[in-house]
Amino acid sequence: MRNAIWAEGTQEESRKLALLLLLCLAWLIPGLIGHAPWKPDEAETFGIVYHMVKTGEWLVPMLAGEPDLAFGPLYYWTAALFVKLFSWALPLHDAARLASAFYMMVAMGGIALAARELYGPTMQRLALGLLIGSIGLVAHAHEMITDTALLAGYALVLWGFALSERRPNPAGVLIGLGVGVAFLSRGIIPLVVVIVCAGLLPIFRNWRNRRYAFTLLLALVISLPFLAIWPWLLHRFARSAFFWWWRVENVPLLTKFSVTYARNEWLYFLRLLPWFAWPILPITLWTLWGYRSRLLREARFQLPLLFFGITWVFTILNAEPRDIHALPVLLPLTLLAVPGAETLRRGAANALGSFGIMTFGLLGIAFWLAWIAMMTGQPAVIYQRLLKLQPGFLPHFEWLAFSFALLLTILWLLPLRDSFRSGRRAVFHWAAGITLVWGLGTTLMLPWLDHSKRYAEVVRALKQQLPAKYTCIGSAGLGEPQRGVLYYYAGITTTRIERAEFSAYGCDLFLLQTDPRHPDARPGQGWVKLWQGSRPGDKSEAFVLYRQQAEPQ
């Protein structure tokens, strides 16, 4: 009898895990393919990946003919490899974006297994539900950005630390791999984060033992090839790029993360966190309250608390106020939220579930109504408003997108008859709601969104205006994303000329990126405008092509 009950329980857990994995796939797949590289991050990232694929030069990340060493090369290598593998079936940029799916699967697996190690075998599902349900993660997880690789590295590190007490050998390997992935993704700062965490954990008695010391030693050995081989190759074969990478892109980061910037930006990130980490943050606060007497005594709380503190400090010390820099804090917050979600009171669980039904239900209705308006022209007021926001957009029906959106909607509606009598069930319903809204937005509304975000048409129109013969193209005001798409869609590289006089550079064409609302006097006398264009509906960004005026005979 006991064996039968145990077998039945095991089968039930396996069934629930399989359903959650299907939910994770439904969350992960939409938004990866079917749209062009969007600015700012995707266009720049893919410009580097495209250069690697086209030229075969993988050592130095290059963007439109210039070294771009702000981040490590690992994500670009992975994306280029996916392009090589899947370009026969997908557009190059869609194939490259699969790298984000790969690293997100690593990150999700790492956090789930860390939760299993810290809190027990049934907690991995809860950790996955919390992570994919966080509002701040969903959009960035589907972007072609190096931060997904950073999250994968940090997740492996957290899993390794969680495992170190029980199995120091695999723990050391995981930490070493995580350090290597994080370093080759974002440079020196992730390395410093892990070193600080490893150095501070022995403050707590739980971590002062030989197993932990052996884990760190093994992690050092495993991470050394990642930390040494690419920098050594860079120094050996591209010395100027190496010194630029080290002296300009890495060492100054340690000074950039300073109290001066914290005074300026901490309020931005403080305001960001409540919605960015929703609903993880309030559940984490419940954990902190409910387990307040054990937080500093038990290793399962010490690790995520310390890692959150370190990543949060580095986030608010960042000089650039962008939500993408807060992504790493979601990982330790997820681990801290797991025990709180398990013990969430029924009233709070019902509140979270009801709020999710109302929010995601209304958003789902809005997406379906907008799609129906685009397909039928009715309601006319919605149809006209949508077309006004995206001038030139021509709606068209796509069977695959419609079928996937309909399936997601049905699957979301089916379990709504059940009550939210536990925090666990409320978390999973919330994750399903996030999946529904993201899935509808990236299927039904994706062509409409892509219309104004892509650069393909404006770049090709620019290419058609280029003379048959010219010496070179000078440019001013071009951002990194724009340089990336110019290279991808038209093979255009430019010579940076940011000052007012251009004749000394020898270029007979000049490309200016400007804000039409603010007149730009460049390039001045002696130049004739050939063409001006912008993306549909974009009133803040335009490209203007000039040709040098021929000197009179």
pLDDT given for residue 502 in this prediction: 58
Query: Do 146 and 221 sit in the same domain of this protein?
Result: yes
Q: Which of 435, 453, 471 is the last residue of a domain?
A: 453
Q: Domain for residue 80, yes or no?
A: no
pLDDT given for residue 416 in this prediction: 64
**HEC readout, 286-308:** HHHHHCCCCCCCCHHHHHHHHHH
Average pLDDT on 397-411 reads 92
Q: Domain for residue 53, yes or no?
A: no
Q: Domain for residue 193, yes or no?
A: yes
Nearest CA to 342 among 504, 136, 118, 190? 118
Q: Domain for residue 94, yes or no?
A: no
Using the predicted structure, report yes or no on whether residue 5 has a pLDDT greater than 50: no
Q: Which residues pair with 470 in a beta bridge?
A: none
Using the predicted structure, report yes or no on whether residue 421 has a pLDDT greater than 80: no
Neighbours of 230 (CB within 10 A): 20
Q: How many domains does the chain have?
A: 3
Query: Do 325 and 410 sit in the same domain of this protein?
Result: no
Q: Which two tokens stand for residue 427?
A: 């978390």
Q: If you write DSSP's letter for every residue of 209-222 in order, what string do you get?
A: SHHHHHHHHHHHHH
CA distance 277 to 466: 48
Pure H helices in 422-497:
423-441, 446-453, 456-464, 480-490
Nearest CA to 112 among 174, 173, 56, 156? 156
Q: How confident is the model at residue 10 (pLDDT cuts 50, 70, 90)?
A: low
Helices (H) and strands (E) in the chain, counts: 23, 7
Query: Do 494 and 515 sit in the same domain of this protein?
Result: yes
Residue numbers of the domain that contains 533: 456-548
Query: Do 164 and 107 sit in the same domain of this protein?
Result: yes
CA distance 527 to 530: 9
Using the predicted structure, report yes or no on whether residue 258 has a pLDDT greater than 70: no
Q: If you write DSSP's letter for every residue of 198-253 in order, what string do you get?
A: HHHGGGSGGG-SHHHHHHHHHHHHHHHHHHHHHHHHHHHH-HHHHHHHHHTTTHHH
Query: Do 116 and 169 sit in the same domain of this protein?
Result: yes
Q: Which of 434, 453, 472 is the last residue of a domain?
A: 453
Q: What percent of the chain has pLDDT over 90?
A: 65
Q: Do residues 413 and 406 touch, judged by C-beta distance below 8 A?
A: no
pLDDT given for residue 283 in this prediction: 95
pLDDT given for residue 39 in this prediction: 83
Query: Do 335 and 354 sit in the same domain of this protein?
Result: no
Per-residue DSSP letter, 187: -
Q: Which two tokens stand for residue 240?
A: 């100027």
Q: Domain for residue 316, yes or no?
A: yes
CA distance 23 to 17: 10
Average pLDDT on 396-403 reads 92
pLDDT given for residue 6 in this prediction: 46
Residues for the chain: how many in total?
553
Average pLDDT on 327-345 reads 94
Using the predicted structure, report yes or no on whether residue 405 has a pLDDT greater than 50: yes
Q: Which of 425, 453, 481 is the last residue of a domain?
A: 453
Query: Do 212 and 306 sit in the same domain of this protein?
Result: yes
| Residue of higher predicted confidence among 347 and 198 | 198
Query: Do 127 and 273 sit in the same domain of this protein?
Result: yes
Instruction: State the greatest distance between any 2 C-alpha atoms of the chain, in Å, as a whole number.
Output: 104
Q: How far is CA 75 from CA 28, 78, 99, 233, in A?
A: 18, 5, 7, 18
**Sign of the C-alpha dihedral computed for residues 53, 57, 60 and 66 taken in this order:** negative
pTM: 0.94
Query: Do 487 and 422 sit in the same domain of this protein?
Result: no
pLDDT given for residue 413 in this prediction: 85
Q: How many CA atoms lie within 13 A of 445 on its CB side?
A: 22
Q: Domain for residue 44, yes or no?
A: no
Using the predicted structure, report yes or no on whether residue 257 has a pLDDT greater than 60: no
pLDDT given for residue 499 in this prediction: 59
Query: Do 168 and 305 sit in the same domain of this protein?
Result: yes
CA distance 283 to 127: 12
pLDDT given for residue 15 in this prediction: 77
Per-residue DSSP letter, 352: H
pLDDT given for residue 522 in this prediction: 80
CA distance 502 to 59: 33
Q: Do residues 99 and 79 touch, judged by C-beta distance below 8 A?
A: yes
Q: Do residues 341 and 126 touch, judged by C-beta distance below 8 A?
A: yes
pLDDT given for residue 1 in this prediction: 47
Residue 473, classed as helix, strand or coil, is strand
Neighbours of 446 (CB within 10 A): 18
CA distance 331 to 190: 14
Query: Do 106 and 188 sit in the same domain of this protein?
Result: yes
pLDDT given for residue 259 in this prediction: 55
Average pLDDT on 340-355 reads 87
Q: CA-based angle 205:210:216, to the nearest 5?
A: 95
Q: Domain for residue 28, yes or no?
A: no
Q: What is the mean pLDDT of the chain?
A: 89
- Report the chain's C-alpha Rg in angstroms: 26
**Out of 72-86, 282-296, 489-503, which region has the weakest mean confidence (pLDDT)?**
489-503
Query: Do 133 and 240 sit in the same domain of this protein?
Result: yes
Q: Domain for residue 67, yes or no?
A: no
Q: What percent of the chain has pLDDT over 70?
A: 92
pLDDT given for residue 219 in this prediction: 97
> pLDDT tens, 113-159?
999 999 998 899 999 999 999 999 999 999 999 999 999 999 999 99
| Residue of higher predicted confidence among 476 and 285 | 285
Average pLDDT on 213-218 reads 96
